[in-house]
Amino acid sequence: MGAVVAGAAAAARITWREARVVELIDETPSARTLVLDVPDWPGHDAGQHLDVRLTAEDGYVAERSYSIASAPEDARVALTIERIDDGEVSPYLAGDVVVGDAFEVRGPIGGHFTWRVGDGGPVLLVAGGSGLVPLMAMLRHRAQARSTVDARLLVSARHVEDLLYREELEALAADPSLSITYTLTRGAPERWKGFTRRVDMDMLQTVGPDAVAMPRAFVCGPTPFVEAVADALVSLGHTAAAIHTERFGPTGS
């Protein structure tokens, strides 16, 4: 079985390890970042995820997948979790967990939705809601590696207060080779400079890069969002094989 491995990070055996929460950061009213200390973490590529396993006192276990938000260069592993109100795992991780708590994780997982600076660009990153998490790992990696690869980020959220990592992204945007565009789909504050509609072909064309520049596209978010954006990119002439998608959560239909 050992031959079936892509990427150096995947070469380590994917075993359960105990992760300890060392810091909690409230990102938005419904999302929280957990910074984890994971002994012997084998390292990861930006875009990969890990599995979390929680165990209740009666032995019941629940497993879920979460994208890694931190750059491969960071010593600690960060997750950002959006609370789904009727959910089983996310209200616990984004609500009940306190610093010092521990749970099991294993990873990194996924060799498809990844980007390393060496892969080059241009790159087009399109995020819906918490779909920004793995794309943020890519931008953090890009910044840490001092890459100047042409990168465009388009973030869609419902309300302005739902936008993740806003200050950090603003700081990253000082880099002229990175452009960041927001769109809000459920109303915007006064003097809002971003878009105020769902992502469509016109918006993707404005954000660029054009299909002729053959960007690597990474699209992540709820399934209907990813379907719509990936279809729009195909219609704009982007090569299907260059469009990487990761879908979170239910179909919404």
Partner 1 sequence: MPLSRGFHGRPRRPEVDPSRVPPGQYVTNDFPVLSAGPTPRTPLDQWSFTVQGAVDGGAKTWTWEELNALPQETFTVDIHCVTKWSKLGTTWTGVSVDTLLEDVATTAEYVSVYADGGYTTNVPLEDLMDGKAWVAHTFEGEPLEPAHGGPARLVVPHLYFWKSAKWVRGLDLTIDDEPGFWELAGYHNYGDPWREQRYWSD
Residues that bind ligand FAD in the complex, under the rule CB under 6 A: 49, 64-67, 80-82, 84, 86-90, 130, 133, 222, 246, 248-250
CA distance 46 to 117: 10
Q: 95-98: long-range contacts (C-beta < 8 A, 24 or more apart)? A: 95/32, 97/21, 97/24, 97/34, 98/21, 98/24
- Binding pattern for the stretch 83-102 against partner 1, x by CB under 8 A and - elsewhere: -----x---x---xx---xx
- Structure-token pair, residue 114: 């990844």
Residue 133 binding: pick among partner 1, ligand FAD, none (C-beta 5-8 Å cut-off by kind): ligand FAD
Assess whether the previous peptide bond of 108 is cis (omega < 30° from 0).
Answer: yes
Provide the 10 A C-beta neighbour count for residue 101. 14
CA distance 175 to 97: 35
- Structure-token pair, residue 160: 């302005």
Binding residues for partner 1, rule CB under 8 A, total 53
CB of 194 to partner 1, least distance (A): 25
Binding residue (CB under 8 A) for partner 1 from 103, 165, 182, 225: 103
CB of 50 to partner 1, least distance (A): 11
Q: Which residues bind partner 1 (CB under 8 A)?
A: 1-7, 10, 13-15, 18, 51, 53-57, 59-65, 88, 92, 96-97, 101-104, 109-113, 223, 227, 230-231, 233-234, 240-241, 243-245, 247, 249-251
